[in-house]
């Protein structure tokens, strides 16, 4: 598509033209495992659905366009996407990552890839200058989440990319953009080499699919990712691709409303005596508030809070909400609540990356914000806290 086409238009039209066979406005679900060949090696661009599928191709084109990338790859989960990116590494390589990242990513790093002589180290990435001092001669990849999960720290993507571009042995800069989505920030435009997503979250947006994606502008990286995608075969089915594509069409509208609701929730929680800290990038108390204002369109829909009463208070609170559903995952139209230390980040327990048990993560949905605040109020009142 033309480069001056705006985000909302790309989200709706980025998958390509209407179905040439029928004129269908929506890309059909091509529920087929194989495709007819007129002669050996002669076909219409599709041979076998693990390699290519028209529904998946439409999604990959849209994802690439939204991230201002040239090459998009869809996977069966966010972790499958991350795994495929890590397959670009070789034994002896070093990966520098922030010390606040998704528990599943840490589990993959340490539980799988460290056994293949790949070294991982973790440092705070919110202070980029100190973080970049940890780059080694064998650093082949820098792994960023921004905002991070669950502490919502912000990394300066452009600064990291600019620094590594001056190195003789330039590491790849990879950004997990799941929390922000391409609507809020575009890491490739800021100098990153690869962007990954769990499309399960905001991109799909309705808690009805599992998927992942990787996007790049580098043709050599794209060639390797295409090989891995086909060779390993961790690809999404056409129905899941269809659902992500459908979700993308309303992404801009949803992300704006998520952020509006989350800001009001964060401000409400900041005044509650039960809570010692509210973490949200659009609050001036956030340590990287100015960077978030500069790098992101808005602060998104995730709010993290730390309870004065510790893990017991957080647990009671999380189990007492009505509209905030106690469940793992995030980024859906319905509000979700979880305790990372006991749920999504258990793999970091007993490690330097362990999450405070008093931290509760809220994925603020699209319900009426007054109903959400009323729900939080009744849950907080059950703690019986008096300042």
56, 61, 186, 201: the catalytic one is 201
Task: For residues 111-127, give the mean pLDDT.
Answer: 94
| Predicted pLDDT of residue 21 | 77
| Predicted pLDDT of residue 208 | 98
Task: Please report, for the domain that includes residue 188, its CATH number.
Answer: 3.40.640.10
pLDDT at 17 over 80: no
**Of 221, 248, 275, which closes a domain?**
248
Cα 51 from Cα 43, distance rounded (Å): 13
pLDDT, the chain, mean: 95
Asked about 50 being catalytic, the answer comes back as yes
| Predicted pLDDT of residue 4 | 80
- 309-348 per-position pLDDT tens digit: 999 999 999 999 999 999 999 999 999 999 999 999 999 9
CA dihedral of 179, 185, 186, 189, whole degrees rounded to 10: -150
| Predicted pLDDT of residue 23 | 84
| Predicted pLDDT of residue 129 | 86
Helix (H, G, I), strand (E, B) or coil at 337: strand
Q: Taking the CA atoms of 176, 178, 182 and 185 in sequence, report the sign of the dihedral they define.
A: negative
Is the separation of the CB atoms in 75 and 234 below 8 Å?
yes
| Predicted pLDDT of residue 1 | 57
Is the separation of the CB atoms in 225 and 85 below 8 Å?
yes
- 237-265 per-position pLDDT tens digit: 999 999 999 999 999 999 999 999 999 99
For the ranges 17-26, 44-53, 197-206, the lowest mean pLDDT is seen at: 17-26
Asked about 385 being catalytic, the answer comes back as no
The reply to whether 240 and 320 lie within a common domain is no
| Predicted pLDDT of residue 316 | 97
Cα 280 from Cα 324, distance rounded (Å): 18
**Of 215, 248, 281, which closes a domain?**
248
Cα 373 from Cα 363, distance rounded (Å): 13
The reply to whether 174 and 162 lie within a common domain is yes
> Is residue 386 assigned to a domain?
no
Task: For residues 140-161, give the mean pLDDT.
Answer: 97
Query: Can you name the residues that pair with 359 across neighbouring β-strands?
Result: 306
The reply to whether 185 and 100 lie within a common domain is yes
> Is residue 244 assigned to a domain?
yes
| Predicted pLDDT of residue 386 | 58
The reply to whether 237 and 324 lie within a common domain is no
| Predicted pLDDT of residue 22 | 83
The reply to whether 259 and 232 lie within a common domain is no
Q: Tell me, what DSSP letter sits at residue 149?
A: T
pLDDT at 135 over 90: yes
Q: How many domains does the chain have?
A: 2
83, 93, 100, 176: the catalytic one is 176
Q: Tell me, what DSSP letter sits at residue 386?
A: -
Boundaries of domain holding 28: 7-248
Asked about 170 being catalytic, the answer comes back as no
Cα 204 from Cα 301, distance rounded (Å): 15
The reply to whether 188 and 260 lie within a common domain is no
The reply to whether 312 and 212 lie within a common domain is no
> Is residue 2 assigned to a domain?
no
- 35-76 per-position pLDDT tens digit: 999 899 888 888 999 999 999 999 999 999 999 999 999 999
102, 113, 122, 183: the catalytic one is 102
For the ranges 40-44, 153-157, 302-306, 368-372, the lowest mean pLDDT is seen at: 40-44
Cα 3 from Cα 70, distance rounded (Å): 11
| Predicted pLDDT of residue 173 | 98
| Predicted pLDDT of residue 358 | 97
Asked about 201 being catalytic, the answer comes back as yes
Select from 329, 322, 316, 318 the least CA-distant residue to 383: 316
- Please list the helix, strand and coil fractions of the chain in percent, rounded to the nearest 5, in that order: 35, 15, 45
Ranges of beta strands (E only) in 177-294 are 194-198, 212-216, 275-279
> Is residue 234 assigned to a domain?
yes
Task: Please report, for the domain that includes residue 373, its CATH number.
Answer: 3.90.1150.10
Rg of the chain taking only CA atoms, in angstroms = 21
pLDDT at 19 over 80: no
């Amino acid at each position: 598509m033309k480069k001056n086409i705006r985000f909302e238009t790309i989200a709706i039209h980025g998958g390509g033209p209407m179905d040439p066979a029928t004129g269908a406005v929506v890309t059909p679900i091509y529920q087929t495992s194989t495709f007819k060949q007129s002669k050996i090696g002669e076909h219409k661009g599709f041979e076998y659905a693990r390699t290519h599928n028209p529904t998946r191709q439409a999604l990959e084109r849209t994802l690439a366009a939204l991230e201002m990338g040239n090459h998009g790859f869809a996977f069966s989960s966010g972790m499958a996407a991350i795994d495929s990116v890590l397959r670009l590494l070789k034994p002896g390589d070093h990966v520098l990552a922030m010390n606040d990242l998704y528990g599943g990513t840490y589990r993959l790093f340490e539980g799988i890839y460290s056994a293949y002589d790949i070294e991982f180290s973790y440092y705070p990435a919110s202070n980029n200058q100190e973080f970049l001092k940890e780059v080694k001669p064998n650093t082949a990849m820098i792994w960023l989440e921004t905002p991070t999960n669950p502490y919502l720290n912000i990394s300066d993507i452009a600064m990291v990319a600019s620094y590594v571009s001056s190195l003789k042995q330039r590491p790849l800069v990879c950004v997990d953009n799941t929390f922000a989505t391409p609507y809020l920030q575009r890491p490739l435009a800021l100098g990153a080499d690869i962007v990954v997503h769990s499309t399960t979250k905001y991109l799909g947006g309705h808690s009805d699919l599992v998927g992942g994606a990787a996007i790049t502008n580098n043709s050599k990286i794209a060639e390797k990712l295409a090989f891995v995608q086909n060779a390993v075969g961790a690809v999404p089915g056409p129905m899941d691709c269809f659902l992500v594509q459908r979700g993308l069409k309303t992404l801009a509208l949803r992300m704006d409303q998520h952020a509006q609701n989350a800001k009001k929730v964060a401000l409400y929680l900041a005044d509650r005596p039960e809570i010692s800290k509210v973490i949200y990038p659009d609050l001036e108390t956030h340590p990287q508030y100015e960077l978030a204002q500069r790098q992101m369109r808005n602060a998104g829909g995730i709010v993290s809070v730390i309870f004065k009463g510790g893990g017991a208070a957080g647990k009671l609170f999380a189990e007492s909400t009505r509209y905030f559903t106690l469940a793992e995952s995030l980024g859906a139209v319905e509000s979700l609540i979880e305790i990372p230390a006991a749920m999504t980040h258990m793999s970091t327990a007993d490690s330097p990356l362990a999450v405070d048990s008093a931290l509760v993560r809220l994925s603020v949905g699209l319900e009426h914000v007054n109903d959400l605040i009323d729900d939080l109020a009744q849950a907080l009142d059950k703690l019986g806290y008096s300042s």
